[in-house]
Structure 1
Amino acid sequence: MELRRLGHFVAVAEEGSFTRAARRVHLVQSALSVSVRGLEKELGVRLFERSTHDVQLTDVGRVFLPEARATLAAAAAALDAVQATVGGLRGTLRIGIMQSMLAVDLASILARFRDERPGVELRLRPARGGSLKLSREVESGELDVAFVSVAGHAFAGVELTSLAREPLLLAVPVGHPLAGQAAVTIPELDRQIFVEAPVGWGTRFVADRAFADAHVNRSISVEVADLATVVELVRAGLGLGLIPQSVARLSDRVEFVPLDPPLEWEIALAVSTKRRASAAGQAFEDLVLDMTGSGGL
């Protein structure tokens, strides 16, 4: 079984399209199709259900995908070990990042890593489905590491290391009855209307747990996957919002009120426990923990 064919299979599975996968692996589509069909013939199974409009994994393909990723990762780790010995780190590092993580100086981390490891290509992937999706992509092998906020949730095959914590503040429109208060309790927010991040996002994890623990109901008028937009919708009067303190400092368009007791938002580094990290991945993890002191910059 050729590693090249495994890589082609993984590319098609992740892209959901032979056309996009062909661009990704720098092949013409016909050559990629031949490669995947050759793998299917070698295995004696169909890995994809093909239609005019899309490509879907078969049940066998879904079982085979994590094994293919693990095999490719092991081969890459072996190559990394040799390259690290004879000429410095090489390879590609896939990093998942959240929409907003000002409590961790990501730019400085990436700049220093690039300076120290110029042979490593960094590929950043924003959170398409929030921290929940990023964590699952680390577990599945789609990402090497990710910065996530999952409010104490545990994921099989994923290790989380805390990097930074900060309080969430209640965002209210200027002139709102709660504006100017020294602090607000969760019970005081019973039946209030909120603008929230979608399910799976870091601030939503914290809010859902806090309101459930306090047995307090809240209505959600709008879900948006961007904290700056949450602030703007709060300003427009569509509801209240919960915003990390580092983001709140950047806006004077709404009022921010502390919560009592505070709600804590945490950023963590997620790595896989199912696969040995590549040399580049381990170097990146070490650098992140060194620069944050495992407690924030």
Structure 2
Amino acid sequence: MEMRQINYFMEVAKREHMTEAADALHVAQSSVSRQISNLEAELGIDLFIRDGRRVKLTPIGKIFLMRMIKTTNMMEEAKREVKEYLNPESGTVRIAFPISMAAHTLPSVIYAFRMRYPEAKFQMSNALYYDLINGVVHGDFNLAMIAPMPLKEQETRISGTNLFTENIIALVPIHHALANRTSIKLEELKDDSFVVLPEGFVFRDQVIEACNKVGFSPEIAFEGKDIDALKGLVSAGLGVALMPEMTLVDNTPQSTIMVPLSNSNLSRTVGVIYPTQRKLLPTEELFYNFLLETYDKKN
């Protein structure tokens, strides 16, 4: 089994088309077909169901693909690890994060880290809550900022550290009846329309659960695809929203007012997670320790 065969196999599996895979690989379609056939002959199985040049993975082909993704990730990490042991201060940190941390939390700490290590590089991606956990487990990235922190007894495949706890606050239109208050109770918004994130976002679930705990189910008027969309909906007077406080630092839209909530339990933990089954690469470990140092000073 050759690395070229594996690369061809993964490209065909991704595109489900021999010719399109060949174009992406900049080789002849006949070469791709031949290498796939050689790989199947060596393994003694059919990896694809063929329909002309269009193909689909067989059940065993899907299993083989998952194994090859993990294998290639490990090979890439091994190469990076060798480079970074020679000079960890100029390596790469692969980190993922929820969209709520895109505007302030992560950029500010990356800026501070690169002030200390200016040659360090970052590969960043955002994902939903459970995709962050699965991405760390399966090697798509080694670090992820996350909120709230998963409970250790619920998720044994990852480890991590709480960095800080942030308040949840209300964002209301500027002419809202409660806009001039120094603080409010969440239940005072029970007659308002809410704007929330779509289903699948853990923070949406947290908002609904918080409302339920104080005795009402929020009337959901609109959904926004991200935090900035929610801000725009509130600014347009289409409802109120609950927000993590950090998402509004230096970024409160016009025609809105932040109002603290006096309910003492309205907060979320923010932390960083990493896999229990793999070591962090040197530059990633450098960044992880920098996170601990940074937030320890702030707490």
Same fold (TM over 0.5): yes
2:142 aligned partner: 144
1:280 and 1:29 mapped to 2: Cα distance? 39
Deviations 1:41-72 (A, max 9, x none): 43333445566898755433443344334333
Cα shift readout 1:202-259 (whole Å, capped 9, x = no counterpart): 5324313323444521122222222222112112222111122233342242122111
Q: Distance in 1 between matches of 2:171 and 2:32?
A: 51
| CA offset digits 1:143-166 (Å, max 9, x no partner) | 232222235454452323222332
SS in 1 for 2:179: coil
Structure 2 unaligned spans of 5+: none
CA shift, 1:110, in A, is 5.8
Residues in 1 aligned to 2:175 and 2:257: alpha-carbon distance in whole angstroms? 8
**Residues 194, 239 of structure 2: 8 Å contact kept:** yes
Q: Which residue of 1 aligns with 2:281?
A: 278
Secondary structure in 2 matching 1:216: coil
Q: Deviations over 1:175-209 (max 9, x none)?
A: 22222233332333335321111234353243133
Q: RMSD between aligned alpha carbons?
A: 3.7
1:256 counterpart (255, 258, 263): 258
Question: In the alignment, what sits opposite 1:107?
Answer: 110
* Letter aligned with residue 291 of structure 1: T
Q: Percent identity?
A: 26
TM-score by length of 2: 0.76
Unaligned runs of 5+ in 1: none
8 Å contact kept, 2:166–2:269: yes
Give 1:64's aligned residue: 64
Corresponding residue SS for 1:100: helix
Cα 1:62/1:95, change in 2 over 3 Å: farther
Query: How has the CA–CA distance of structure 1 residues 151 and 181 changed in structure 2, closer, same or farther, with 3 Å as cutoff?
Result: farther
Question: Retained in 2: the 8 A contact 1:189–1:216?
Answer: no
Distance 2:15 2:287 in 1: 26
Partner of 2:118, secondary structure, is helix
- Counterpart mapping for 1:1-297 below 5 A: 1-7=1-7, 9-10=9-10, 27-28=26-27, 30=29, 34-48=34-48, 57-85=57-85, 87-89=86-88, 93-101=93-101, 102-104=104-106, 105-108=108-111, 111-112=114-115, 115-117=118-120, 122-127=122-127, 130-150=128-148, 152=150, 154-190=154-190, 192-201=192-201, 203-249=203-249, 250-251=251-252, 252-262=254-264, 263-293=266-296
The answer to whether the Cα contact below 8 Å between 2:166 and 2:268 also exists between their aligned partners in 1 is: yes
Q: Separation in 1 of the partners of 2:116 and 2:16?
A: 32
The count of corresponding residues between Structure 1 and Structure 2 is 289
Residues 14-45 of structure 1: CA deviation (Å, up to 9, x unaligned): 67777887788x54473556555544443333
Q: 1:296 to 1:73 in 2, by over 3 A?
A: farther
Partner Cα separation in structure 2 for residue 4 and residue 296 of structure 1:
50
AA at the equivalent of 2:260: P
Question: Considering only CA atoms, is the larger Rg found in Structure 1 or Structure 2?
Answer: 2
Residue pair 2:113, 2:290 contacting (<8 A) in 1 also? no
Q: Does the Cα contact within 8 Å between 1:147 and 1:270 map onto a contact in 2?
A: yes
TM-score where L is the length of structure 1: 0.76
Sort the Cα spacing of 1:277 and 1:248 in 2 relative to 1 into closer, same or farther, 3 A. closer
Shift of 1:12: 5.7
Q: For residues 188 and 242 of structure 1, what CA distance do their matches in structure 2 show?
A: 13
* CA deviation after TM superposition for structure 1 residue 109, in Å: 5.0
